[in-house]
Amino acid sequence: MSKQSYKVCFCFRRRFRLAAAEAPEDIKALFNQYSENEVMSLDQLHRFLIEVQKEENATLEDAQAVMGSLHEFKHLNMFHLKGLNIESFFKYLFGDVNPPINPKLGVHHDMTAPLSNYFIFTGHNSYLTGNQLSSDCSDVPIIHALRRGVRVIELDIWPNSKKDNVNVLHGRTLTNPVELVRCLRSIKEHAFFASEYPVVITLEDHLTPDLQAKVAEMITQTFGDMLFSPGSECLKEFPSPESLKKRIIISTKPPKEYLEAKEVKARENGSKKGKEEEAWGKEVNFKAKIDDEKNDDLEEREGDNNDEDDSKLHQNTAPEYKRLIAIHAGKGKGSISDWLRVDPNKVRRISLSEQELEKAVISHGKDIVRFTQRNILRVYPKGSRFDSSNYNPLVGWMHGAQMVAFNMQGYGRSLWLMHGMFRANGGCGYVKKPDFLVKAGPHNEVFDPKVKFPVKSTLRVTVYMGEGWYYDFRHTHFDTYSPPDFYTRVGIAGVPADTIMKKTRILEDNWIPNWDETFDFPLTVPELALLRIEVHEYDMSEKDDFAGQTCLPVSELRKGIRAVPLHTRKGDKYKSVKLLMRFEFV
């Protein structure tokens, strides 16, 4: 090797050498405040937990547990016999024992209210491995979804090529099918891995009555006593998640209603041929409306079931299949106002596409909120999302929609919000809706997301520093010849008045960036707010590189200084990458 090339190599290694992480000045100042002679005693740590970390109920035993978690550093001169030195204190703050959401909370929401009182972790086309047009259908993405905590699995069921069995596939596309029975068995095996609360199977049914009967037999044999099936009549009120622990629930449109919806649709399509639709502001009939999007998923629009022969449905409606349906779906006849009419004697589910919802909230926002106080609203992605992308879930949530259905095999900022919402309540897949979305006011008024409310609280976020990229990424991943130039984006996803993103300055050539910047976020509806955190690496000539993300429910943020693990684009946690942050409500 020439002297010159050796020099270049040495320089390259030197540039990528990792400097030791050092506590920010604020952390050093806090340590000095709560220590004596450069040692933080057990009593001083206990006081720090109460006064700075805002753990009002912290005991001396809790402080001792923190010290115990640092035993591995005793031989590294980072731990003093009488307490913590600055290095071990810093390791505690930046360690896995100090997460932003308290893992000890577990499931802590009231789980005894009706299902309609909860946001539910909901999948869309749960069987697809990739895009909506040509990917394989499989039970593998169903398993992955259940193990992540998803509680609503959607299956599109169609006759196989011989019409003697039932497959799951995305109809009228090139997706390769998977047998229904395989999906059902995988649901049974993995349903309660992440949560003991009920799993709902929503069926998009495209079957003849004889195959419906076959499905009823499959479901009954597979799930047995796990199945919650109250009979053929609509429920007067939904049961609670607590009462349905480890139960499987079937939700679909009863067969007779499929036929009626198809006949109505055929008549309406005939009558409107050659005419333009009325303006949205008038009471239009959503039933006849087909999205402007090309190739929208017709089978998604409840009531289409137009691949089978009507006469068979006239002759028989597979009563054993109908008896399995616990959550009845279907919009019924008429306009959006008719769909959203609340029946005091029964509850049901309706489905709207993301486009239908966006249009409906303009003129019927409060009606939707009132409907979802007792009934269930499912929202699904528009059909043109062939790449399995997703939409803004807050539109549905702020109107009380329980089942905001997402393509879990996709990724992107919308899915990060979904993951963030369901980190709440112990990750059990059910998050209790705020009271203002489940109860009417003293004058029977309901929450109106269009109204700008006064600021209820202000979240103050300090982004101190980050570390871990040096260990989790190739050293040339961000820049070939120099360390990365990181910056952090931090902000709120929530009601429109609260939604905002801010960013730190860019720190050049540093594997361990130390920003030490503070941001204030006034919140008008903190109950629906999610804290968004992203780290990027600045690239002058190309798109900035992704370097990690997470999303956290503001309602469950632990006050104080916390170690915030970051995740990949797909939502998997990095082994080492994390930020040191402080959360305060001022």
Is 124 part of the annotated catalytic residue set? yes
CB atoms under 10 Å from CB of 224, counted, come to 10
Task: Provide DSSP, 349-372.
Answer: EEEEEHHHHHHHHHHHHHHHHHHH
Q: What crossing angle do the helices spanning 42-51 and 60-68 adopt, rounded to 10°?
A: 110
Annotated catalytic residue within 46, 71, 108, 124: 124
CB atoms under 10 Å from CB of 540, counted, come to 6
CA 196 – CA 194 distance, rounded (Å): 7
Q: Are strands 178-179 and 376-380 parallel, antiparallel or unpaired?
A: unpaired
Q: Which residues of 324-354 are buried (b: 16+ CB within 10 A; e: fewer)?
A: bbbbbbbbbeeebeebbeeeeeebbbbbbbb
- CA 357 → CA 217, 237, 363, distances in Å? 35, 24, 10
Annotated catalytic residue within 109, 170, 328, 475: 170
CA 68 – CA 70 distance, rounded (Å): 5
- On whether the CB atoms of residues 356 and 391 are closer than 8 A, the answer is no
Q: How far is CA 566 from the centre of its chain?
A: 16
Burial-class residue 10 by CB neighbours within 10 Å (0-12, 13-18, 19+): exposed
Residue 555 has what DSSP assignment? G
CA 184 – CA 223 distance, rounded (Å): 8
CB atoms under 10 Å from CB of 306, counted, come to 14
Which residues are the active-site residues? Answer: 124, 170
